[in-house]
Amino acid sequence: IPQSYETIRVTLQHPQFAPTPTEIAVNNEQAKSLVLQIRRGITVTGLVTDTAGRPLAGASIREIHDRQEPALSCTADAAGRFELKNLRPGDTLLAAQANGLAPALLETNLSASPTELMFTLQPGHVLKGRVVDDRGTPVPDAVARTDRDSLGLRKIEWSVKTDSEGR
C-alpha cells in the first residue's frame, strides 16, 4: 500500500457470507496483524407467479444496488420457488423478471428473521423497432439494452441484437 495512504476500503467476499465492506487504517502497526470479520448474510425465499397464480419457472430474481461488489441473483425452480442467499441486512431492492412479462421490483428491509417474498409478474409493453444509421440504412448486429437510471441502478435487464434489417 502506498505510504501516502492512511486508509483503504476493502470488501470481504465468500460464497457462504454476505459481502462485507470495511475500512482499514494502513499506516500503523495494527495493519501488520489485521483480523477482519466477515458477516453472515440473510437468506430470502419466495415465489414468482403470473397474475393467474401460475408459477414462473426460470424467472430470474436479482439484487439491485450501486455498490462495487456483484449483485446476487438466482433462478426460480419449476414450482416458481426461489432462494437468494447471503444478502446484506437492511434496505434491499430486488427485481424479478420472466420472458414475456413486465419485471417487478420489491423494496424490503432484511433482518435476521426468515424472509418470504412474493412476486406477481404482469403483462408488460412490447417494444419493436429498427436501428438505422444517419442515412436511414438498417444496422445489423447492433445491440440495444436497458441502461442504469439516474441513481445508477439497472432495474430492468433487457437486451436485443438486431437482425440483417436492423430489427
Query: What is the reported pLDDT for 97?
Result: 93
d(CA 27, CA 45): 43
Grid-cell match 424490503, residue found: 108
Query: What is the reported pLDDT for 67?
Result: 67
In this prediction, residues 69-84 reach a mean pLDDT of 90
pLDDT of 71 above 80: no
pTM above 0.85, yes or no: no
pLDDT of 55 above 70: yes
Three-class SS of residue 29? helix
CA 99, 100, 101: angle at the middle one, nearest 5? 95
d(CA 70, CA 83): 17
Q: What is the pLDDT of residues 16-43, one digit of tens each?
A: 888 888 888 888 888 888 889 998 888 8
Measured in whole angstroms, how far is the alpha carbon of residue 141 from the centre of its chain? 26
pLDDT of 139 above 70: yes
The per-residue pLDDT of the chain, averaged, comes to 87
Decide if 96 contacts 74 (C-beta within 8 A): no
Query: What is the reported pLDDT for 52?
Result: 96
pLDDT of 99 above 70: yes
Query: Which stretches does DSSP call E strand in the chain?
Result: 7-12, 20-25, 42-50, 60-64, 73-75, 81-87, 90-97, 104-110, 115-121, 143-145, 159-161
d(CA 19, CA 10): 10
Q: What strands lie across the sheet with 60-64, from one edge to the other? A: 73-75, 60-64, 90-97, 104-110
